[in-house]
């Protein structure tokens, strides 16, 4: 993912290298957009309160015509998304998204533009281990970040532990990172130490009770921007204490689709956005058909007995 200046003042392009799609952003400088995806999660200058930010998928009907926009009023601003067309975002008081990586209104506008190209933003992890590209879906506390750190400690090539752009590339399902850092929560310190021992040049910053590892300058051979996906893991939050043994079970295609929708932007799969829904559903069907889909529940063996845990997970 590249964020570039454009000729007009306060205009940037967000360019996906993995999928060849670009979203034009009018009303924000490239530096401000870069900061929204950075470890600091804050632009150098506040977003323009009440002033519109216009978003359009380049080369795909960027004109003003078409259906009336769907208006979504969120706690940090308003998104006006024209089905099958451009979007306009009007941020509210910047303090209302103090603890967020990116304002919800802006996230919706960007997600809608990418959806027009059949690309889904998703809270998921992606890495390549033993020659297999893995995408791991899961709700908060399912263990995506811990799984990603554990994979990295075993030499995996890590794309992201949380926020991705998903689509179908020339070779099938593909994931590209949006967030330029890894987030380490309590419980992952030992795995982080192993990662830092293997890659001593990595920086670590503290963000409240968490630690952040910026990836913008990390070695690209260990932290590629994108990876082809062979397996899709639907992670489950354990009922009660985490088991001592990681488990892999069959999963129905409907459950994979449900998790994909829940992990992305469900509104764009609805009747209000027929063009976006059609493009995303085509991506989802191809994704499920062309990747091995399983349900995964990680156990304490991921840290205490990693050889056996990974043998089970990669069977």
Encode pLDDT of 243-297 as tens digits. Answer: 899 999 999 999 999 999 999 999 999 999 999 999 999 999 999 999 999 999 8
| Residue 85, helix vs strand vs coil | coil
Bridge partners (DSSP) listed for residue 258: none
Q: Model pTM?
A: 0.92
Report d(CA 292, CA 232) in Å as an integer.
6
- What is the per-residue pLDDT for 61? 60
pLDDT averaged over the chain?
A: 88
Q: What is the separation, in whole angstroms, between the first and last Cα of the chain?
A: 32
Tokens 């397996």 locate to 231
- What is the per-residue pLDDT for 62? 46
Q: Are 247 and 312 in contact (CB under 8 A)?
A: yes
pLDDT, mean of residues 58-62: 71
Report d(CA 71, CA 88) in Å as an integer.
10
More confident residue, 149 or 129: 129
DSSP 8-state code for residue 34: H
* Range of weakest confidence among 27-41, 214-228, 293-307: 27-41
Question: Residue 44 pLDDT more than 60?
Answer: no
280 is written with which tokens?
């995303």
pLDDT, mean of residues 88-100: 69
234 is written with which tokens?
């639907």
pLDDT band at 43; cut points 50, 70, 90: low
pLDDT, mean of residues 101-124: 94
Question: Residue 125 pLDDT more than 60?
Answer: yes
Count of beta carbons in the 10 Å neighbourhood of residue 128: 20
Exposure class string for 135-153: b at 16+ Cβ within 10 A, else e: bbbbeeebbbbbbbbbbbb
């Amino acid at each position: 993912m590249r964020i570039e200046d454009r000729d007009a003042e306060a205009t940037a392009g967000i360019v996906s290298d993995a999928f060849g799609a670009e979203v034009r952003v009018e009303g924000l400088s490239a530096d401000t957009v870069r900061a929204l995806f950075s470890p600091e999660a804050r632009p150098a200058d506040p977003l323009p309160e009440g002033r519109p930010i216009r978003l359009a998928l380049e080369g795909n009907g960027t004109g003003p015509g078409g259906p009336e926009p769907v208006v979504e009023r969120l706690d940090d601003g308003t998104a006006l998304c024209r089905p099958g067309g451009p979007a306009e975002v009007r941020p509210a008081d910047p303090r209302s998204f103090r603890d967020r990586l990116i304002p919800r209104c802006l996230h919706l506008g960007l997600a809608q533009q990418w959806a027009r190209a059949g690309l889904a933003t998703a809270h998921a992890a992606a890495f390549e281990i033993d020659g297999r590209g893995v995408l791991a879906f899961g709700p908060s506390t399912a263990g995506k970040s811990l799984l990603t750190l554990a994979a990295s400690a075993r030499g995996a090539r890590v794309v992201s532990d949380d926020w991705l752009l998903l689509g179908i590339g020339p070779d099938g399902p593909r994931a590209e990172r949006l967030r330029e850092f890894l987030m380490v929560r309590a419980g992952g310190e030992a795995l982080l130490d192993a990662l830092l021992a293997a890659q001593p040049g990595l920086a670590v910053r503290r963000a409240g009770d968490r630690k952040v590892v910026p990836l913008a300058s990390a070695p690209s051979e260990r932290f590629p921007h994108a990876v082809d996906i062979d397996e899709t893991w639907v992670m489950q939050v354990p009922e009660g204490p985490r088991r001592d043994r990681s488990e892999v079970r069959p999963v129905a295609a409907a459950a994979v689709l449900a998790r994909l929708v829940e992990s992305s932007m469900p509104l764009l799969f609805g009747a209000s956005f027929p063009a976006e829904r059609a493009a995303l559903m085509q991506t989802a069907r191809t994704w499920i058909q062309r990747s091995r889909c399983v349900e995964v529940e990680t156990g304490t063996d991921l840290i205490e007995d990693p050889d056996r845990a990974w043998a089970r997970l990669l069977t």
